[in-house]
Structure 1
């Protein structure tokens, strides 16, 4: 297919996706819900600090959120594979709306110890993982296979757009009233619930859970992950990449000159990520998988060398923006390929197992960044990050599961649940 024909096909796919009623509903509901969650997750540590006076307890909130998300990967994937996806999303939205509403009441009536908010965050994040897994299954059933890259791209763009707006709204709402961010978050869950309720596509699961087959059913995602070369390669690549990118972010936060620079850097990076998401479908369709992954990692390593040579915090911010510009392109290619290649009846469990492993090193990233900033000068710390991104490039180059096929050449026979 010529470049002009590919571009025409992509435009047609994007237009068709825009006319897909159920995809629009799901996208709008999640855009609203993610905005509310972005607001509350930034405001909650400040609220815990106000209630308890303990910065350590406020920091623990982030740890609880991360652990709940990490531990929720596996059961969330199982639930999405075994139960009606529409019902799962409705129950998760309802649960999060009720939990957040109860937190609002407790804060307004001054009956909430800070530890209650830790519980709310932990349970809500666990429910989010089940929702996200069910949403992935729903997108696969709602969106035709040829439009999957566009669907992944616009979903990524949604997340980056939320990251640009959410922090600003969180600070403004918190100054109005400490409970205001939670009120907004609760309302956005209700909006998402209504959008899911209005979906017309049948989202029933292909399998049914039974206690007799609980362990084999749970383990099937791991077995598919282990047997498929691409899925193994993708998981290892994501594990190393997540660690390197998270370490870069924390080196910027811990070692930069001033909070204004950090805030501006994260905002600029989110804008770059939004741009990358819009470009992702075209890039993933035209550039073969292995060259795309290796090139992205080497560009990141090269930009880190430039930042280390210049020796300024502004250069490091520019690197972060470049990293997040490339991230959606890589992420869209990997996610789209996974959705197309994995059978529908096991997709949730495969994604859960892969996500569980690929997130395993992330808790070490802040600690590693802290040691770099504490014991090395800025230039040396940045060259360690160069080494991390070179390691990512090596993984992409040597893992046998990354074929040279582009997204448009992937088999589509298994793109829909059987």
Structure 2
């Protein structure tokens, strides 16, 4: 399957381009949210709370989003999400322009809403791709899907940091424009298939709906182990993210430099997406994700000893590349072993752990930086990742 075989799928490219551009705006705003709060309050703890507000929906809405993705029209859900996100970022931009009272609180509320939109879109998108493509077209489509996140990280963070340096409200206007484009693109899509009925069409209680996704993850050893590992590593990486942002700002680097450094994860992710097929063709999904944790550990060593923007950019780019390769391997495995009629709930169950850890990591990052300072936190995250890598290696050797 080659990308040329997707050339005639207008609906897929509308879906992909709309969501990809919307992600660019989201990641630009995601850089601007903590920068704005740091500028208002001069408090890394407050910035950590805003990061928590962005990521907290992962703890709350993953399972409901999975149930909705399996029960309702996914494209319609995606359109509703774009409208809600558009309203949230317009509120932030307006509040910054008029210098509204309690601005930090308004920013946190909008961040929570955007985070919720991100959760629902992430859960629904994989299923929506299956709604607009034939089974033969999906492998190539999944390759495009894996490239979506690093492209958004690259351009979103670079643009977000650059335009924030021009005006504090501008990243949110850019974000609003991307929501609007995605909404128009989604409105032009026509699904080319009828969703298949579940294997068990009997009425199900909400409790059974929630348990179905968790059960399939728990019963499959690799899904269970990799979900736990991803959760712990995501928590650590989120601390590293705020650490880099905090160090660069306190050292007097301009906002565009912060954006460039953080967008390096996008460059690494794109390279990872290009090379992922080579790794996944030769290594098992278990070996890929285990090796990824060790590579992450090595990349945190330079971050622990240097605050040079170039060093940080190179290492952060490596973190992004390793993450994408691991995600490709695990996505292929998940799609192969999870029945389609519970795919949304299973993905939501895994994301509840993986993405939920991002929320806890953002909160922990603010607390650690405010309490101990960046010097201590550098070594804490390195030690934590090393312990995780050792644990993963020992677990994989058990019969």
- Which bin holds the TM-score, normalised by the shorter protein? 0.7 to 0.9
Task: Within 5 Å, give how 1:6-405 maps onto structure 2.
Answer: 12-48=1-37, 53=41, 55=43, 56-111=45-100, 113-114=102-103, 115-145=105-135, 148-201=138-191, 202=193, 204=195, 206=197, 213-249=205-241, 258=251, 260=253, 265-302=261-298, 307=302, 311-313=305-307, 318-362=314-358, 363-364=360-361, 366=365, 370=369, 382=382, 385-395=385-395, 397-398=396-397
CA contact (8 A) 1:276 1:329 kept: yes
CA distance in 2, matches of 1:64, 1:251: 18
Deviation at 1:97, TM superposition (A): 1.8
The Cα offsets for residues 349-405 of structure 1, whole Å up to 9 and x where unpaired, read as 11111111234544256379758867859778745543333333334x2477xxxxx
Change (3 A) 1:166 1:320: closer
Q: In the alignment, is the contact (CA less than 8 A) between 1:68 and 1:122 conserved in 2?
A: yes
- Contact 1:83/1:204 (<8 A) preserved: no
User: 1:89 deviation in Å?
Assistant: 0.9
Shift of 1:46: 4.1
Q: How many angstroms apart in 1 are the aligned matches of 2:315 and 2:6?
A: 33
Q: TM-score, normalised by structure 2?
A: 0.81
CA distance in structure 1 between the partners assigned to 2:137 and 2:349 by the alignment:
25
How many residues are treated as equivalent by the alignment? 385
Contact kept in structure 1, 2:161 and 2:259, CA below 8 Å: no
**Relative to 1, partners in 2 of residues 1:203 and 1:87: Cα closer, same or farther, differing over 3 Å?**
farther
Change (3 A) 1:86 1:312: closer
Contact 1:36 1:188 in 2 (8 A): yes
The TM-score, its normalising length taken from structure 1, stands at: 0.77
Tell me, yes or no, if the aligned pair for 1:157 and 1:275 is still in contact at 8 Å: no
**CA-to-aligned-CA distance 1:14-64 (integer Å, 9 cap, x gap):** 3223443222111110121111112222223444566x5463544422111
Q: 1:93 Cα deviation (Å)?
A: 1.2
Q: Name the CA shift for 1:153/1:355 in 2 (closer, same or farther; >3 Å).
A: same
1:141-172, Cα deviation, whole Å (9 max, x unpaired): 33445654543333332322222222332344
Deviation at 1:264, TM superposition (A): 5.5
Over the aligned positions, Cα root-mean-square deviation in angstroms equals 3.6
Which protein, 1 or 2, shows the higher relative CO under an 8 Å CA cutoff with sep ≥ 6? 2
Which structure would you say has the larger Rg? 1
Unaligned runs of 5+ in 1: 1-11, 401-418
* Residues 269 and 321 in structure 1, CA contact (< 8 A), matched pair in contact too: yes
